[in-house]
Chain A
Amino acid sequence: MSLFSKQNKEAFINPLNLDNPILVQVLGICSALAVTSQLKPAIVMGLAVTIITAFSNVIIASIRKTIPMRIRIIVQLVVVAALVTIVSQILKAVAYDVSVQLSVYVGLIITNCILMGRLEAFAMMNKPWPSFLDGVGNGLGYALILVIVGAFRELLGRGSLLGFQLIPQSVYDAGYMNNGMMTMPAMALILVGCVIWVHRAYFYKEK
């Protein structure tokens, strides 16, 4: 099988759009609501999940034939936990402030349903390379929605993007105010709902 066969491409492309973990499968919602109040933690979280999904997929896929079926979940958990610990330590070392903002949600990647879902549904029955593509695709599909929601929430809730003030002071002087509800998870749920709405209306066709 060639490196970028049609199947492999689909494993990578589908999770970005038609099989998006958040928009279509509605998985991983809790972390998506919790970390998106600003853009920067949303990006970091998206990348962390992408890396962990990709490499845990590769590792599980390469040892899939030696894993006894009855204890596969615990084996998967050990692999994911190891990767999460590595990522979390790296984050603390190089981006301490973001890791403080993300707080428990980096550690909670272990229980992220997208991860476990991909390991169970894809990595356990596919070769490492397609599994890697699938992991990257799903991670990026998750990250994409996090970035969209995070951008809206930071722009409307704080008037900034990535910490840079985008809405000028003159607008505030004219009576504009930041929307406090945007910084609450409740509004994140509504925003995710809106993204799903747009996605359903323009991209996703019911089979």
Chain B
Amino acid sequence: MSLRKYLDNIKPTFEKGGKLHAFRSVFDGLETFLYVPNTTSVSGTNIHDAIDSKRIMSFVVIALLPALLFGMYNIGYQNFAAAGKLAEASFWNMFMFGFLAVLPKLIVSYVVGLGIEFAWAQWKGEEIQEGYLVSGIIIPMIVPVSCPLWMLALACAFSVVFVKEIFGGTGMNIFNVAVAARMFLFFSYSSAMTGDRVWVATNSIFGLGNTLPDTFTAATPLGQLATGSMPDTSLADMIIGFIPGSIGETSVIAIAIGAVILLWTGIASWKTMGSVFAGGIVMAVLFHALGMTPIQWYEHIVLGGFCFGAVFMATDPVTSARTETGKYYYGFFIGALAVIVRVMNPGFPEGMMLAIFFGNMIAPLIDYCVVQCNISRRAKRVTNEK
């Protein structure tokens, strides 16, 4: 417990009147992140779970790691595949290249997002709510690898300030912070977020990887679909994740590992997650039967950000529907809308981001309807008994 002792030793410097009082929020945040605070409420009866929001977020970050690590490897894989040097490249070569490509994004995302959160907490004299722990790792995972760092920084700042802090901070936001960051990037700098030039890293980093010619293009399978051609990747590649795409979204297997962790620990709701898939499958089967989409329903599910969104973003407990029945409607709406956008709007090859955003928007309405239904049903029961 030397760390505990050390923290206790330096604690007074951060209290009011201490030398480093200006960094109180930083210290507070770190301390409660490392150790569950043992302070309890002084009034009323409260039931306290052993796990608090910071521990929940750590679990989500752990669940995201497989997808992130695979994403790094896939960046290297795509780069070497594009250069035609797949046979000579070792696993570590490819992974290190991807690691070096993603690391700056992670750092920028956390520095900007947490920086704003810490500063805000200090300014308002509040405790730090580390809601950004999860958003900070998701945001770099849902952008293309060639997304410039300044854009990422801007998007993080925008979403933390305008989507989270002005609504009252962690737990009060109506929109998912990571989705909002991607929306901002998508609508602000669409040429850097879609198309067939952004999905593969084209520059070598510290001598690792290959520099590809300027004319190099690689479309995502959904991008190919939107332009009217069939995706030329095999189903196995789609499931394992060896396709161009946003950093963390390509591998269904890595996401499935994360999903198991989330469901096993009970952090994500299986109702939301399952109904997102149900909605997507129903819609995709319907569209395929109507001849509006050339690919099968299972390809719709494994391609693009569908799995990533369903597992990590639609299940966000803050922005999803809170009533248990509402979760079914909420998830189904998101899954169905994602496929509808993909198939019916040629301007958007991928619809998961928009679907989750709209889902967040109507989640309070769903909750309201579910609660009102319940009330009127019970009221009827009472009047019938009389």
The residues in A between 160 and 207 inclusive whose CB is less than 8 angstroms from any CB of B are 175-177, 179-182, 184, 186, 190
Q: Is the CB of B188 within 8 A of A181?
A: yes
Q: Which residue of A176, A180, A181, A182 has the most chain B CB atoms within 10 A of its CB atom?
A: A181
- Residues in B with CB closer than 8 Å to A177 are 151, 189, 191-192
Query: Distance in Å from the Cβ of A159 to the closest Cβ of chain B?
Result: 13
Q: Is the CB of B189 within 8 A of A180?
A: yes
Query: Distance in Å from the Cβ of A182 to the closest Cβ of chain B?
Result: 7
- Residues in A with CB closer than 8 Å to B162 are 190
Residue in chain A with minimal CB distance to B191: A177
Q: Is the CB of A179 within 8 A of B189?
A: yes
CA gap between A186 and B190 in the complex, in Å: 16
Does B184 sit within 8 A of A, measured CB to CB? Answer: yes
The residues in B between 127 and 160 inclusive whose CB is less than 8 angstroms from any CB of A are 148, 150-151
Query: Distance in Å from the Cβ of B313 to the closest Cβ of chain A?
Result: 21
Q: Is the CB of B150 within 8 A of A175?
A: yes
- Residues in A with CB closer than 8 Å to B188 are 179-182
The residues in A between 63 and 92 inclusive whose CB is less than 8 angstroms from any CB of B are none
Query: Distance in Å from the Cβ of A147 to the closest Cβ of chain B?
Result: 23
Chain B contact-residue range equals: 10 to 19
Does B187 sit within 8 A of A, measured CB to CB? Answer: yes
- Residues in A with CB closer than 8 Å to B192 are 177
Q: Is the CB of B148 within 8 A of A175?
A: yes
The answer to whether residues A181 and B184 also contact, given A175-B148, A190-B162 and a CB cut-off of 8 A, is yes
Q: Is the CB of A184 within 8 A of B187?
A: yes
Q: Is the CB of A180 within 8 A of B190?
A: yes
CA gap between A179 and B191 in the complex, in Å: 11
- Residues in A with CB closer than 8 Å to B189 are 177, 179-180
Q: Which residue of B150, B151, B188, B190 has the most chain A CB atoms within 10 A of its CB atom?
A: B188
Q: Is the CB of A180 within 8 A of B187?
A: yes
Query: Distance in Å from the Cβ of A184 to the closest Cβ of chain B?
Result: 7
CA gap between A186 and B189 in the complex, in Å: 15
The residues in A between 125 and 181 inclusive whose CB is less than 8 angstroms from any CB of B are 175-177, 179-181
Residue in chain A with minimal CB distance to B151: A177
Type the 1/0 row for B167-188, where 1 means its CB is closer than 8 Å to any CB of A. 0000000000000000010011
CA gap between A26 and B187 in the complex, in Å: 26
The residues in B between 162 and 217 inclusive whose CB is less than 8 angstroms from any CB of A are 162, 184, 187-192
Query: Distance in Å from the Cβ of B164 to the closest Cβ of chain A?
Result: 14
- Residues in B with CB closer than 8 Å to A175 are 148, 150
Residue in chain B with minimal CB distance to A186: B187
Q: Is the CB of B150 within 8 A of A181?
A: no
CA gap between A19 and B150 in the complex, in Å: 38
Query: Distance in Å from the Cβ of B177 to the closest Cβ of chain A?
Result: 15
- Residues in B with CB closer than 8 Å to A182 are 188
- Residues in B with CB closer than 8 Å to A179 are 188-189
CA gap between A180 and B193 in the complex, in Å: 12
Type the 1/0 row for B335-355, where 1 means its CB is closer than 8 Å to any CB of A. 000000000000000000000
- Residues in A with CB closer than 8 Å to B191 are 177
Q: Is the CB of B187 within 8 A of A181?
A: yes
Query: Distance in Å from the Cβ of B198 to the closest Cβ of chain A?
Result: 12
- Residues in B with CB closer than 8 Å to A190 are 162
Residue in chain B with minimal CB distance to A179: B188
Residue in chain B with minimal CB distance to A157: B188
- Residues in A with CB closer than 8 Å to B187 are 180-181, 184, 186
Query: Distance in Å from the Cβ of B28 to the closest Cβ of chain A?
Result: 25
- Residues in B with CB closer than 8 Å to A186 are 187
Query: Distance in Å from the Cβ of B143 to the closest Cβ of chain A?
Result: 14
CA gap between A142 and B66 in the complex, in Å: 53
- Residues in A with CB closer than 8 Å to B184 are 181
CA gap between A180 and B188 in the complex, in Å: 4
Query: Distance in Å from the Cβ of A154 to the closest Cβ of chain B?
Result: 15
Query: Distance in Å from the Cβ of B174 to the closest Cβ of chain A?
Result: 15
- Residues in A with CB closer than 8 Å to B148 are 175
CA gap between A176 and B189 in the complex, in Å: 10
Query: Distance in Å from the Cβ of A202 to the closest Cβ of chain B?
Result: 15
Seed contacts A177-B151, A180-B190; 10 additional CB < 8 Å A-B pairs: A175-B148, A176-B150, A177-B189, A177-B192, A179-B189, A180-B187, A180-B189, A181-B187, A182-B188, A190-B162
- Shortest Cβ-Cβ A-B pairs, 10 listed: A181-B188, A181-B187, A179-B188, A180-B188, A177-B189, A175-B148, A180-B190, A180-B187, A190-B162, A180-B189
Residues of A bordering B, CB below 8 Å: 175-177, 179-182, 184, 186, 190
* Cross-chain pairs A/B with CB under 8 angstroms, 12 sampled: A175-B150, A176-B150, A177-B191, A179-B188, A180-B188, A180-B190, A181-B184, A181-B187, A181-B188, A182-B188, A184-B187, A190-B162
